[in-house]
Structure 1
Amino acid sequence: MPPVRNPILPGFNPDPSVLRVGEDYYIATSTFEWYPGVQIHHSRDLANWEVIVRPLSRKSQLDMRGNPDSCGIWAPCLSHDGEKFWLVYTDVKRKDGSFKDTPNYVVTARDITGPWSDPIFLNSSGFDPSLFHDLDTGKKWLVNMLWDHRQRPHYFAGIALQEFDPIQGKVVGPRKTIFYGTDLALVEGPHLYKRNGWYYLLTAEGGTGYDHACTLARSRDIWGPYEVHPQKHILTSKDHPRSALQRAGHGDIVDTPDGRTYLVHLTGRPVTQRRRCVLGRETAIQECYWAEDGWLYVKDGPVPSLWVDLPAARDEAKYWAEKIYTFETGLPKDFQWLRTPEPERIFETNPEGKLVLTGRESIGSWFEQALVARRIEHFSLDAETVIDFSPTDERQFAGLTVYYCRYNFFYLTITAHSNGQRELQIMSSEGSWPDSNLRFPFPGEPIPIPQEGKVRLAVTIRGGKQLQFYYALEVEEELKKIGPVLDASIVSDECGGHKEHGSFTGAMIGVAASDLNGTAARAIFDYFLYRPVSHESDRYE
């Protein structure tokens, strides 16, 4: 069997939690401000994955209107106790400054596809909650990192343990800090396991940037004390800046039916000399083994391997396949929107297979914006759509966007001059907090276009570095370049408003519409095309 190239979940898929139930594997990843919340991926072989459900899909479970960028759903943990699935997660309401508002919840389902229950509140003492089912004692335990707003230079106060009573639906008994981490600090992302009488605690340390790591500790007693692994960090790229997989950390462990052990983990693949992870934080996998000393080791680790032996090969044809999305049966599962649990206010799909966006707030809003997009999973790609939109002034605009957050995006729009003349305009936001002012990267004035008629909009990205917009006034005519070549690497974690330790999502590509007049102007999109391109400038493709 040929080895499989990492990552197994390319693009914006961070903080993996892995689970096997029988022959089925599942990975849950963070979705932050993108709705519905949590992506659950399914596989039978660890190599080929597809999203099967986003369980937080109704207002009673999740409402993120007003959540800042990179807040929302952090580090879900998916588990199964032999009867049903349990999903714990954080809905972060604030992350900047000394305070973090981090309510933690749990939902359950008998079947992975749902229906999923309404949430039970757990605590707000920190983030990255995990639920451990001790099958020997029948008890359930909640572990999460503690946040201490008084503690400098950072606020990570260790990993806390408390019993969860499923009958009462709440945490009960004493809470104790069981692990303070190592000198790498910033300890988070805990997962508990039990093997041969040992409790193993896997944590993430070093922040989610280039010092990230997976740290393992163990104890005979669930309350500790926990001794640290002989290697300290079982997985990290921090001392190997030329490794293909950087930012390796935040992991979880799964066993195969035949007794092999794998670690899934967060990673990033930087491009350009500025080391920008243009595809965000992704999920990779490493083969592990249990040594005679009772400790888990990553095969050929602790540096993560780009290639890994898995039970099956990956279907490369599917990975490189062109996708043409139409909308006859609703929004395709590859797409999400931002924050709101009331999607009917921002989009609908019609029987003709069109996507209709209702213009609401600006593309940078934290409340209600009509923006529908899918993950960018390739360093090089072509994308296009056809839009029908009749704006009346400069406060109405709609089109094609490559988007990271309110601070970092590129946006080719149909809009109008203040005199009503319809025109094409590129908007971009390339700053960091608090600078989110728009830029208009045209060498001259916006391009006037006829008052009526569909327009074809397109974009190419090459190597995660160069971005070029195109347009055509007749749908079948050849595309023309519009605007200069732009720096595609702006749409990355390292430029996402708060640099590598504060921007957590990933590059998305899709369509958007705004009506700042408040008259809900509608934009109609015929289709959306996403075409991966194998390009010589792609470092890892």
Structure 2
Amino acid sequence: MARWSPLRKANGITPRSAPGRGIARESIYDPRGWSTLGRETAIQKVYWDDEGWPRIEGGHGGKTFVEGPKDAIFTESASDNSQQDDFTSPALDPNWNTLRVPFTAKMGTTGDGKLTLIGQGSLANTHDLSLIARRWQAFYFDAAVKVKFEPFSYQQMAGLTNYYNDRHWSFVFLTWNEINGKVIEVGENNRGKYTSYLKDNAIKVPDGVEYVWFRTKVRKQTYSYEYSFDGVSFTEIPVLLDAAVLSDDYVLQSYGGFFTGAFVGLAAVDYAGYGTQAEFYQFEYQELGDRLAADGSYSWEAGETRDK
């Protein structure tokens, strides 16, 4: 059994950087918690032994901290990946992703200050899906959007989602029921089992309200949803969700190995087949910091690692 290391390894590659030396690049994840941000990349120094075999400096587990090459060109990466998108361009911002196929007119359009999505299959659908999403890039962030949607069937939904794959996601959305008309609901798909959390307590949208704002608040181990009818005063929906469900490690337990991490996105659903359209405005993804100690190390405690 290999000794414990703070870096868990997978496949890697070793380009030569100097005579007799090299750098190993490897995909890793952090074993101190659930990998909601997906796999990251680490580097280790490599040397060739007397028999010509490459070896990792520091032994089998490598080193937690590696000094860069002396002749390396200094580059500075963004410390904050926050994003605001007013959808003014006819093309999606490069931060956005779609499932398997590019964004097309079948899904919707963007430009002139709004994103229009045409309702298709549910978020459990792996073929016809009107969903755009961007990666979680921090453990602590808020994401919000303004939505206009006029459903007339319980099979029509539009809103804000936190998404891993077709079997692991949650969704705060506008829909319709026979009692209150247009309402707000929260649903979650956990290992293929769907749960509606509000049901008879779905939040009625007041008559005459044209726009609804949704916000998600991700706080490392948990996350929640909020709504607003004026874009200023938000009300938290009393449903606290486990972020681990959207992690590589959790999905691996039941669905094979993946390393994408979680996404936050916008979606429209209409499996009644009417192609009802939803409009999205003023998307904002705001990172709140990674909770790092002053010396740059993580401020985690052993108790933060959960077994589930």
When the two structures are superposed, what TM-score results if normalisation uses the length of structure 2? Answer: 0.84
Bigger radius of gyration, 1 or 2? 1
Deviations 1:482-538 (A, max 9, x none): 132211111112332753743443211111110111111111111322222225499
Residues 456 and 341 (structure 1 numbering): CA distance in 2 closer, same or farther, change over 3 Å? closer
1:414 aligns with 2:187: no
In 1, Cα distance between equivalents of 2:178 and 2:16: 62
Partner in structure 1 of residue 36 of structure 2: 278
In 2, Cα distance between equivalents of 1:314 and 1:499: 39
Q: Among residues 83, 88, 113, which one is paired with 1:328 in the alignment?
A: 88
In 2, Cα distance between equivalents of 1:327 and 1:404: 24
1:455 aligns with 2:205: no
In 2, Cα distance between equivalents of 1:510 and 1:415: 17
1:488 aligns with 2:280: no
Partner in structure 2 of residue 239 of structure 1: 2
Residues 271 and 419 (structure 1 numbering): CA distance in 2 closer, same or farther, change over 3 Å? farther
1:386 Cα deviation (Å)? 1.2
In 2, Cα distance between equivalents of 1:307 and 1:355: 43
Q: Among residues 208, 230, 245, which one is paired with 1:474 in the alignment?
A: 230
Residues 443 and 423 (structure 1 numbering): CA distance in 2 closer, same or farther, change over 3 Å? closer
Q: Spell out the pairing of 1:404-443 with structure 2 (5 A cutoff).
A: 404-418=164-178, 421-431=181-191, 436-442=192-198
1:293 aligns with 2:48: no
1:376 Cα deviation (Å)? 1.2
Question: More displaced, 371-380 or 450-459?
Answer: 450-459
In 1, Cα distance between equivalents of 2:20 and 2:50: 15
Q: Spell out the pairing of 1:253-402 with structure 2 (5 A cutoff).
A: 253-256=14-17, 261-272=22-33, 276-310=34-68, 311-312=72-73, 315=76, 318-329=78-89, 330-341=91-102, 343-350=104-111, 352-402=112-162
Deviations 1:83-116 (A, max 9, x none): xxxxxxxxxxxxxxxxxxxxxxxxxxxxxxxxxx
In 2, Cα distance between equivalents of 1:454 and 1:498: 40
Residues 462 and 521 (structure 1 numbering): CA distance in 2 closer, same or farther, change over 3 Å? same
Higher relative contact order (CA 8 A, sep 6+): 2
Q: Among residues 238, 254, 264, which one is paired with 1:499 in the alignment?
A: 254
2:20–2:47 Cα contact (<8 Å) kept = no
In 1, Cα distance between equivalents of 2:86 and 2:20: 43
Letter in 2 for 1:349: T
Deviations 1:265-303 (A, max 9, x none): 11112454xxx3222222222222233332212222321
In 2, Cα distance between equivalents of 1:474 and 1:524: 16
Aligned partner of residue 499 in structure 1, secondary structure:
helix
1:253–1:263 Cα contact (<8 Å) kept = yes
Partner in structure 2 of residue 252 of structure 1: 13
Letter in 2 for 1:516: Y
Letter in 1 for 2:283: F
Aligned partner of residue 344 in structure 1, secondary structure:
coil
Deviations 1:416-439 (A, max 9, x none): 1135711111010112xxxx2311
Residues 427 and 301 (structure 1 numbering): CA distance in 2 closer, same or farther, change over 3 Å? same
In 2, Cα distance between equivalents of 1:258 and 1:333: 39
The alignment's C-alpha RMSD in Å is 2.7
Q: Spell out the pairing of 1:24-423 with structure 2 (5 A cutoff).
A: 239-241=2-4, 243-246=5-8, 248-256=9-17, 261-272=22-33, 276-310=34-68, 311-312=72-73, 315=76, 318-329=78-89, 330-341=91-102, 343-350=104-111, 352-418=112-178, 421-423=181-183
In 1, Cα distance between equivalents of 2:233 and 2:105: 35
1:314 Cα deviation (Å)? 5.5
Q: Is there any run of 5+ residues in structure 2 with no aligned partner, and where?
A: 300-308
2:185–2:199 Cα contact (<8 Å) kept = no
Partner in structure 2 of residue 234 of structure 1: none
Residues 240 and 511 (structure 1 numbering): CA distance in 2 closer, same or farther, change over 3 Å? farther
1:340 Cα deviation (Å)? 3.0
2:152–2:176 Cα contact (<8 Å) kept = yes
In 1, Cα distance between equivalents of 2:113 and 2:99: 22
1:357 Cα deviation (Å)? 1.0
In 2, Cα distance between equivalents of 1:443 and 1:421: 13
Partner in structure 2 of residue 534 of structure 1: 289
Percent pairwise identity: 26
Aligned partner of residue 513 in structure 1, secondary structure:
strand
Aligned residues: 291
1:393–1:419 Cα contact (<8 Å) kept = no
Aligned partner of residue 143 in structure 2, secondary structure:
strand
In 2, Cα distance between equivalents of 1:286 and 1:250: 13
Q: Is there any run of 5+ residues in structure 1 with no aligned partner, and where?
A: 1-237
1:250 Cα deviation (Å)? 0.9
Aligned partner of residue 393 in structure 1, secondary structure:
coil
